[in-house]
Amino acid sequence: MLDREQLHREPKSGKTKDGPIRCILLSEFHVVEGSKISCQVPENFVTKEVFDSIRTYIIPKPQLQRCILTINTLGHKVIGYPVRISHVRYQRNFFYYNLCFVFDSWSRTVQYEAVVKKLSEYLLMMEEEGSFLSNAENNGNICNLLTCILRDLNQRQVATIVEGDTTIYLKIGRLKADPPVVQDHQVPLMCRGFEDTDLDSWDLTTQQVLPFVNGINHVARIAAEADVENQLVKSCIQNLVYYGVMQLLPLLKYSNVYMCTRELQKLTRDRTLADECRRYVQLQHAEKVDTVRLPSLFNILQLYSQMTHGVTLRSLCQRLCPRDNNIDERKLVSFGLQHNLIRCINKYPIFTGSIPTPKHKLYTGLNSLDEICCKTGLSPSRIEQEIDMDSNVTVIWKL
């Protein structure tokens, strides 16, 4: 049963998230007493009752040695790396130990696995060189060592261990979320700071793909123009998105409908962002830009604020004529999507009839109009015209 403190620490959502190391313990197998805790910091964090219930997994069978093991029970999540050393100097010719990190049961712990393994291998080396673990006289040094590691990893995410002539560095790596699956209709765009990166620093596939990444071409078109297999282009772009070099935007069409967000207020409050926007969306670019010719923030905000339900980009351009104000509407949309100033409202056709044609099978309500265009090779205007003439197709708009 969880105590009150553990219940207080557990997030209400029930989802895993990063949490601190609550305890580091060293367990070993005693020839008479069996599995036991030889050292833990802080003391008595893992009670004897809890340890007795999981001791079988702390010092497991030989088949599970030198493997990362995770046990989540009784309010604790324990990560260990059990090790067996065979040598004639030990009773029964072997020595079992397991260095374990203990967390709250809701903590995400995958980023600690490499640290546990590296530290366990380091202790193995010290044991083989000087019986550091099996010699009872070293218990005080071991506890001091584990105390320093616990403090440093929790406070600074790094720890340095110096023992004799040996130094080891530990660091908790931060894992990013998996990148989204790249779709044919999505438009990749280089993130700020990577636009002028030398192509020679990339792999061969990336060198072929990057010249066609301009914030307008979608993935399928890039694959065709670069003459690279489609799946290979997707993998390349997905890798660049994961490392923050590239981002994915919706396909730009004049039939698209956009909606401004609350983030639009930043343009009036952040002078740096406003100036960046004015330079980015101007119709004519030059190395030395005359600030007098930059589009006014008033005209930019007027265009953004008019983006709402039922207003297509085409109708907006016909009514406000952005190019007369030195504004490139394509770059205006691109900048807004990059900085979350606007969002694209996608069109999803649904076939409601009884006998679908092959094209109707794409009208499931799960495929956006952009996806259908890429899959069929037809223009958006052609598909929209067919949808308007088909009484068995209903269109829904959603973000």
**What's the CATH number where 125 sits?**
3.30.450
Helix (H, G, I), strand (E, B) or coil at 190: strand
Hey, what are 358's tokens?
């092959």
* C-beta atoms surrounding 284 within 10 Å: 8
8 Å CB contact between 195 and 211: no
Rg of the chain over CA atoms, in angstroms? 30
Give the CATH number for residue 380.
1.10.10
8 Å CB contact between 233 and 219: yes
Helix axes 329-338, 271-281, angle to 10 degrees: 140
What's the pTM value of the predicted model, to 2 decimals? 0.61
- Domain assignment present for residue 8? The answer is no
Q: 269 exposed, middle or buried (CB, 10 Å; 0-12, 13-18, 19+)?
A: exposed
Residues 142 and 44 in one domain: yes
- Domain assignment present for residue 16? The answer is no
- Domain assignment present for residue 11? The answer is no
Domain boundary among 232, 250, 268: 250
Secondary structure (DSSP) of 56-118: HHHS--GGGTTS-EEEEETTEEEEE--EEEE-TTSGGGEEEEEEEEEEETTEE-GGGHHHHHH
Give the count of domains, the chain.
4
What is the span of the domain harbouring residue 48?
Answer: 23-171
Residues 165 and 35 in one domain: yes
Residues 105 and 207 in one domain: no
Residues 298 and 394 in one domain: no
d(CA 30, CA 48): 16
Residue bearing tokens 């049963």: 1
User: Which pLDDT value is given to residue 5?
Assistant: 42
- Domain assignment present for residue 226? The answer is yes
- Domain assignment present for residue 9? The answer is no
Residues 32 and 96 in one domain: yes
- Domain assignment present for residue 223? The answer is yes
Residues 30 and 154 in one domain: yes
Domain boundary among 250, 272, 294: 250
Residues 115 and 68 in one domain: yes
Residues 69 and 147 in one domain: yes
Instruction: List pLDDT tens digits, range 296-351.
Output: 999 999 999 999 888 989 999 999 999 988 999 989 998 999 899 999 988 889 98
Residues 151 and 59 in one domain: yes
- Domain assignment present for residue 180? The answer is no
Domain boundary among 323, 340, 357: 340
- Domain assignment present for residue 178? The answer is no
Residues 66 and 120 in one domain: yes
8 Å CB contact between 16 and 46: no
Residues with pLDDT less than 70, the chain: 1-16, 285-292
Q: Is the dihedral of CA 267, 271, 274, 276 positive or negative?
A: negative
Residues 83 and 190 in one domain: no
Q: Tell me whether strands 69-73 and 76-80 are parallel, antiparallel or unpaired.
A: antiparallel
d(CA 246, CA 354): 43
Q: How many residues does the chain have?
A: 399
Residues 40 and 129 in one domain: yes
d(CA 246, CA 190): 4
Q: Is the dihedral of CA 371, 377, 378, 383 positive or negative?
A: negative
